[in-house]
Amino acid sequence: MTSCSQSDPFKISQNIFSADFVRDLASSYKIDTDLESLRHQLIRIGGLYLAECKNNLDELRAAERKEYQKILAEIDRFGEALETEENYGLAPLMQFAAIRAQEPPPQTTFHKVTEFQKSQAAPYYLELVRLLRLLRTGVEDHITMMQPPKGRKGNSALRDFVLRLSIFWTENTGRKFSFDHHEGQPLTEAYEFVQSVACHLDPNIPEAQIKTAMRYVIGQRNEWEKRANEASNAASPSRE
């Protein structure tokens, strides 16, 4: 039986998430991703959970916030450089590089960009700015998530674990990470998946805590999606 108190969290996770378990999991939930890749992802997710249980989560989060704050500073510096883009002609450079590499042009439609501006490769610049602002929003959200929780702490390690599983689920299945109840019982595949993985990693996790963590994570993801949409719209004020 596994518990958070044991040592060598990533070794434990590697032993728990065997090739057979991952193959059965992929078959049960119709996940087509390469099995070795799936196993690597689950070992990392499980190892991080066990490590967070074992160690001082506040210290781990403080260190992670520090690293992401460095990334945020770099994004801001790059953003400031982009404000002088016209002095360097970066948009045509991106356009020429895309043509040489046979890469498709930006897919976002900027309705108020004139034909002349298009000929000057303006959509490349506008798309770069849009994506940079989305990246900044995502990094800010992550820094916020790593802040010490206010009030009652709850099971922060489990919430982080479920968040990583939610990303695993959407990226590998393309399906929505959802949670619903009918007569007190959750019905979604996503819930069954999380419970299956969580209980396999640590049978001591109470089902009620898994449900609470899923509600929290879904609320967080909805908020981040809202903020990302707002950032995307703000980055492209000329779009309709």
**What value does the mean pLDDT take over residues 182-187?**
62
Start-end of H helices in 83-155: 85-88, 90-101, 115-119, 122-145
User: Average model confidence (pLDDT) for the chain?
Assistant: 83
**What value does the mean pLDDT take over residues 9-23?**
95
Three-state secondary structure call for residue 202 = coil
- 76-83: list long-range contacts, CB under 8 Å, 24+ apart: 76/136, 78/132, 79/129, 79/132, 79/133, 79/136, 82/125, 82/128, 82/129, 82/132
Residue 240 clears pLDDT 50, i.e. is over it: no
Give the pLDDT score at 237: 47
The H or E element spanning position 26 is helix 19-28
Give the pLDDT score at 86: 60
Q: Tell me the sheet residues that pair with 10.
A: none
Half-sphere exposure of 145 (CA within 13 A, CB side): 22
Task: Tell me phi and psi for residue 59, to 5 degrees.
Answer: -70, -40
Give the pLDDT score at 129: 87
Give the pLDDT score at 234: 62
Which range has the top average pLDDT, 114-118, 129-133, 161-165?
Answer: 161-165
> What separation in angstroms does the CA of 154 have from each of 158, 163, 213, 238?
9, 15, 9, 44
CA–CA separation, 46 vs 50, rounded Å? 6
Which single residue is written with the structure tokens 């510096």? 77
Q: For the chain, give the percent of residues with pLDDT over 90.
A: 43
Start-end of H helices in 146-240: 156-173, 189-201, 207-235
Say if residue 82 is exposed, middle or buried (CB neighbours under 10 Å; 0-12, 13-18, 19+): middle
Q: How far apart are the first and last CA of the chain?
A: 56
